[in-house]
Structures are given as structure tokens and as C-alpha cells.
Structure 1
Amino acid sequence: MTTIDVQKVTYNQLDDEKDVYIDVRSPREFAEYSLPSAINIPLFSNEERAKIGYIYKQESRENAVEKGLELFSMKLPLFYRELKILFQSNPQKRMIVYCWRGGMRSKTIAGTLSLLGIPCFQLEGGIRSYRTFIQEFLAKQMEVGRQFVVLAGPSGSRKTEILDHLEDKGYPVVNLEKLANHRGSLFGHIGLTPHSQKEFEARLVRRLIEFEHASHLIIEAESKRIGRVVVPSFILKGKEEGRIIEIDTPFHDRIHHIHQTYRPDLHKDEFGEAISYLRKRLSHPVYMEVRRAYDENRFDDLFTLLLECYYDPRYEFKQGVDRAKGSSISFHPFEEGLSSLEKELDQLIHHSHER
């Protein structure tokens, strides 16, 4: 049997600007996390991969390989056409093929297409080599001497909007909720597709690399979890030790912002499901009033009840904002608050550089 000679590259040899990444894992695997800007051209569908795995476990490796080759042989013309288009569209770039751990899937694709005139490289170690890099990078962050500025404030204070503004202005913002694609509350997933832990960490690392030489990072005062995503301990430590800036937003502005952000009129069933989880966390009279407001589409009343009876008391108790080591900025009007915040941040960072 002839062995296909496949050119390999390691993760450290990759270049996002000069390489095209082709992920041949199943769509479900790809959705969990992938290399930046990777293109998913799956060798097997989710169902086919599950079937091959079943054959491998219940029968033998040989039978699983045969089934895989049978499926691949039917898809080869499609693979060839898709990769040929990619190759012709990116003549100056390397075609990097990867699977889970640099095994048979990526080797088969890279080797076969190379024989057909489309030079491909196989990522040694597959996506696992990328995952190893992510884990090692995050493990070293405890040793990095970096200060944190923490934007705090109760639900609806427009902190995400403020972070977006600062990011556009070039400040070193690490927007954890955006990286998790979750708003950080019981209702935070509504209208979104939250990222996996692996994808969150990969995006976080890419963001941290952008600010490798920054003296400060600006974050929101998050809890340990954002949905199902766990925030790394070095960020939690930075939050505890960082400079707190509390965002003071009028209550009626918060209600309006929450309504505009969550759009309960478009996601009513999801809201109803989330509200049901509050049954044991609210007193019975308050819970029943919440349900009535929901049933009657009185969403401003619904959000008012949730803030006054649940989120604001939790914020005061759980957040533990140490106002003695921080400051408060009024965002009424909003534009003046942004201007005041920028001035305070500039002063903080400038004084840090002087030291």
C-alpha cells in the first residue's frame, strides 16, 4: 500500500495573514470552536461521523476506516471543486487542512488533493495543538503585571454600549460578554447563540494578544460565569483588585435600554421559559405579578419588577463594589457620561505610565 506523503506545519508556523484554514471536522465540531476565519468543509456530516464512531466502537477500526473511505470517495469530486476554487482565489496563500488531532481526516484530504494538483498542508496535532496553545497562554496570565479598570453598575446601565464606544476609540477593552456571546443574566442567551468555553477562551486569547503591551485592561464587573462560560481566574483576580468605576444611569433609562436590547416582543416564548426559573427566587406575590405582566405584554412593568425585586438587590449584595477605591460617573445625559469616563481613563493610564 502506497503511503501518501503529506507536508505538515505546526501551530507555531501558522500565519493568519498568509494561510487559508480548511476545517474538515463535522459541523458540530466546527461550531464548538475553530481556527480564526477557518472555512468548514466537513469530510463527514454529524450523522456520518456518529455512525463511523459507532462502527469503530462496536465492530472494528478496520470496518470504520472502510466506511469512512466509502463516504469520502463519493464526496471527493465536491471536495476537489471547493478546494480548487479556494486555491485559485488565494494563489499566494498556503492551504492548511486540519481535523481534531491531525489524524486520518485531514491527512486524507491534504494528501489526495495534493496528488490532484492542489498543494495542501496538514496541521500537525490538529485543532488540539491550537487548544494547547490557548490553555498555556491563559495559564501564564497570572504572571503578567497588568492593571484592570472595572466598569460596574446594575442591570441595564448600558455597560456593553459603553464598552463598545471605548473599543471604537481604541481603549484596551476586553468585552467578556461579547466574547461569550451572552449578556450575563438569566435572560442573557435570548436572541443569541452563546459560544462554547473553548471558543470563548480562543477569542479571549486573541483579544489579549492585541493588548500584549497594554498597562491596563478595561472590563465589565462580571461574575464567575457568563451563561455556561467560566471566566478565567486571572480576570476575576483583576476585577477584585482593579479600579472600580460605577456607572450611574437613571432607572427609566435602564428600563428603556433593557427593552430595546432584549426585544421581548420578538422572543416571548424564550422569556416565558426564563421567567419560570425565577419561581423559587421570588416571593409568590411578586412572581405572580411578573407572570401577569408577561402574559399581558406589559414588558416595561415586567422589567421594573425584575430590577426592583431581583436584579438590583442581588447587585447590591453580590457585586460587593468597594466605592472607597473607585468612583462613580453619572450617565445622565449619556454623552456627558462618556466624555467624563474617557477623561478619567486617560488620567488613570497616563499616571500609570508616569510611574
Structure 2
Amino acid sequence: MPFAPETVQNFLAAPFDAVIDVRSPSEYAEDHVPGAISLPVLSDEERARVGTIYVQESPFLARKIGAALVARNAATHIEGPLADLEGGWKPLVYCWRGGQRSGSFASILGQIGWRADTVEGGYRRWRRLVKEALYDRPFPAPVILLDGNTGTAKTDLLARLASRGVQVIDLEGLANHKGSALGSQGPQPAQKAFETALATEMARLDPARPVVVEAESSKIGRLILPPSLFNAMKAAPAIEVTAPVEARAAYLVEDYAGLIEASDGRIDRLDLLRPLQGHEAVDAWQAMAREGRYSDLARELITRHYDPRYAKVRARTTTERMTEVATETLDLDGRERLADRIAAVISGQSG
């Protein structure tokens, strides 16, 4: 009987030795069940070819050609990545909607003697469970915001809080973006993949304990936070981290090293700030970058761009401030001490 989980938690706790995604590589790349391995039974080109034959010539011919391709690709997988597996192996196989591709591959595996099963509804079922978790239900745990102006090491502090047993979700890590105009860290995941990662993190939360997330707008780069989380964040109390401009500038130089400096010594992403700050300011900032004056640049960005924008945002919000945690330094020892203090605040809140 096909596996038919009713929640993300049920799916992630599936009692199988492996999860196999037999969809095409492009389907897998856009999003997939966490931990699933890609063993496509049709390549992107093969899938397009079979689909064209189905529409333009004959469903029967398409199925016959598709069956031959599936068998050929299945043989490659069995002789390759699956070659050394023992007889008691129990995989879970899924395709787009639990139909021919996963059924065909699972049948072949079953004939070998492996205890293969399929997912009722395939990837579409997984996607439905993710959407229900993110869009149809309230966020499953109380939220505490970690707030503070740019350069207060909030993302670094999240990792240190996690090492101290605090529940955290690193939204910027999931989104592969630092959340600011200069925060790109490379390609971001697709929205579906971001939502899968977020739903997976949410499924692991203890609903009786608070979870700490960094204060964000409704978008991180081009990715949109689902309403259940963003509404919980808007209603959440905040722990605000404060530090002097000099300490924040020094931390930014450390944190952004190699991230925003282009090979010619210019920070090309500063061009994104021209509509907000004007050509004269951005030209001056790029000159600082060319001259290697990164501390000066960080101070300028903090005082002339980031802090004024934070002030405007805060003036429009009514976030309750739980406490302020101030520090004079954001070096390694300073961040360790900050994490201890914040963890103590959260422990007192949850206790």
C-alpha cells in the first residue's frame, strides 16, 4: 500500500532506509523531499520527448517509448549507485504525483527483492503538506525576535544560541542571503525549496519552547516569508542587541570579507544604493573600497544608510522590546558573552 503521510512530520519520520526522487533533474533541482536522492528514470530531454509524442502522436506510443527509457535508466541506477545494497533494503520512491514513473521503478526494485514503496500523490503530496504547514496553520511555537542594527552579529549569535540548546531558525541561512541590499551570497533557492527547508525546520520544533529568529522584513532577497511565520514575527517580543558604531564596523569588515569585494577592488553591489543614496555618495564609497578603506566604508554605510533605514522601519512598527543587551565589543569573546546573556534571558522567559 502506498505511503500516505498526513503531515510534514509524518513524512520526515517515514520508516524507510532511503527516499528516492525519480523525477527529472530539473524537477529535483527546484525542490525535493529533504534527504531524497535523485535517481531520475527520465532525463529532462526524455521527459519532454515522451510528452510531445503523447500529445502529438499517440498515448500508446508514448507509454511504450517511456517504458523502454525507464527500464534502461533503472538498469543504470541498479548497476551504479544501488549496486552494493543488501536484500533487506527498504526504499521509498516518489515522482510528480505518484504515478507511472515511481510505480515502474518501485516495481523493478521489488522484483529484485527490495521492499520498495511509493508515495501516494508523489511530490504533489509533499508540496501540499508543506503549504498546509506554512499557509494554513498558525506557527507552531512562540517566537522571540533577535533584533539590532546592521553589524550587531545577529546571525552569528543565532548559531551560538543553538549551540547552547536554544531553539533557533536561521532564516537568512535558509534563504542564502544576508537580508540587505548588499547581502547576496550567491544564487538563492527556489521559493518552493526555501519553503521545504522552512517547513522542515518547523517540524522539528518543540511547541512548548520559544524559537528565536532574526528580525526580518517580509522578504529575504527575492524570497517571501509565509504569512504564518511573518505574522508571528510581527507579534513577537524582541531582544535588541546594541553596540557602538566602531564595534559594528569592525564586525562587518570581518563578516563581509570576500563577499562584496569584486576582483578589481570595487564593490559593485554598492550600485544598488544609487537610487537611495545618490551618485556622489556611492562614488565616494566605491573609492573607499578601491583604496582598501573597508572600516571607513563600513562606518559610512552604518551611519548614512543602514541606521537611518532601521529607524524609519522601527517608527512604523509596534514591536515589544523584551530587553536590550548592550556590548562594547563584537569580537569572538564579546559574541560568546552576548550569547550567554541572551540565552539566560530566553531561559528566564521560557521558565
Range class of TM-score, shorter chain: 0.7 to 0.9
Rate the CA distance shift 1:27–1:262 in 2: closer, same or farther, 3 A: farther
The gaps in structure 1 that reach 5 residues or longer are 1-6, 351-355
Work out the CA distance in 1 between the residues paired with 2:138 and 2:319.
25
Displacement of 1:23: 0.7
Among the aligned pairs, what percent are the same residue?
Answer: 29
Stretch deviating more after TM superposition (114-123 or 262-271): 262-271
Work out the CA distance in 1 between the residues paired with 2:254 and 2:70.
48
Structure 1 partner of 2:307: 312
Rate the CA distance shift 1:187–1:25 in 2: closer, same or farther, 3 A: farther
Work out the CA distance in 2 between the residues paired with 1:103 and 1:17.
21
Q: CA contact under 8 A between 2:134 and 2:229: conserved in structure 1?
A: no
Rate the CA distance shift 1:180–1:61 in 2: closer, same or farther, 3 A: farther
Aligned pairs for 1:2-13 (under 5 A) are 8-12=2-6
Q: CA contact under 8 A between 1:110 and 1:120: conserved in structure 2?
A: yes
Q: CA contact under 8 A between 1:149 and 1:216: conserved in structure 2?
A: yes
Rate the CA distance shift 1:57–1:153 in 2: closer, same or farther, 3 A: farther
Q: CA contact under 8 A between 1:84 and 1:118: conserved in structure 2?
A: no
1:42 to 34, 40, 43: 40
Displacement of 1:246: 0.8
Work out the CA distance in 2 between the residues paired with 1:99 and 1:348.
45
Secondary structure at the aligned position of 2:276 is classed as: coil
Work out the CA distance in 1 between the residues paired with 2:59 and 2:262.
48
Structure 1 partner of 2:348: 347
Offset from partner CA, 1:136-167 (integer Å, 9 cap, x none): 122343275x5321111112211011111111
Offset from partner CA, 1:24-56 (integer Å, 9 cap, x none): 122222122211211111223334434444444
Displacement of 1:177: 1.4
Displacement of 1:99: 1.0
Q: CA contact under 8 A between 1:176 and 1:219: conserved in structure 2?
A: yes
Rate the CA distance shift 1:234–1:119 in 2: closer, same or farther, 3 A: closer
Work out the CA distance in 2 between the residues paired with 1:148 and 1:158.
19
1:32 to 30, 33, 47: 30
| 1:258 matches 2:256 | no
The gaps in structure 2 that reach 5 residues or longer are none
User: Normalising by structure 2, what TM-score?
Assistant: 0.85
Work out the CA distance in 2 between the residues paired with 1:95 and 1:8.
12
Structure 2 partner of 1:285: 280
Q: CA contact under 8 A between 2:135 and 2:227: conserved in structure 1?
A: no
Rate the CA distance shift 1:241–1:259 in 2: closer, same or farther, 3 A: same
Structure 2 partner of 1:242: 236
Q: CA contact under 8 A between 1:142 and 1:234: conserved in structure 2?
A: yes
Structure 2 partner of 1:120: 116
Rate the CA distance shift 1:86–1:268 in 2: closer, same or farther, 3 A: farther
Displacement of 1:193: 4.0
Secondary structure at the aligned position of 2:274 is classed as: coil
Displacement of 1:135: 1.4
Q: CA contact under 8 A between 1:87 and 1:95: conserved in structure 2?
A: no
Aligned pairs for 1:1-355 (under 5 A) are 8-12=2-6, 14=11, 15-16=13-14, 18-82=16-80, 84-85=82-83, 87-88=85-86, 93-142=89-138, 146-190=141-185, 192-264=186-258, 268=262, 272-320=267-315, 322=318, 325-333=321-329, 334=334, 335-350=336-351
Q: CA contact under 8 A between 2:25 and 2:43: conserved in structure 1?
A: yes
Work out the CA distance in 1 between the residues paired with 2:84 and 2:197.
25
Work out the CA distance in 2 between the residues paired with 1:57 and 1:110.
26
Rate the CA distance shift 1:110–1:157 in 2: closer, same or farther, 3 A: same
Secondary structure at the aligned position of 1:328 is classed as: strand
Displacement of 1:169: 1.2
Work out the CA distance in 2 between the residues paired with 1:184 and 1:200.
14
Q: Which amino acid aligns with 2:164?
A: K
RMSD of aligned alpha carbons: 2.9
Displacement of 1:287: 1.6
Work out the CA distance in 1 between the residues paired with 2:46 and 2:261.
33
Rate the CA distance shift 1:326–1:102 in 2: closer, same or farther, 3 A: same
Q: Which amino acid aligns with 2:243?
A: T
Work out the CA distance in 1 between the residues paired with 2:116 and 2:15.
16
Work out the CA distance in 2 between the residues paired with 1:69 and 1:275.
53
Q: Which amino acid aligns with 1:289?
A: A
Secondary structure at the aligned position of 1:281 is classed as: helix
Displacement of 1:317: 0.9
Stretch deviating more after TM superposition (284-293 or 268-277): 268-277
Stretch deviating more after TM superposition (120-129 or 335-344): 335-344
Secondary structure at the aligned position of 1:97 is classed as: strand
Secondary structure at the aligned position of 1:326 is classed as: strand
Q: CA contact under 8 A between 2:191 and 2:223: conserved in structure 1?
A: yes
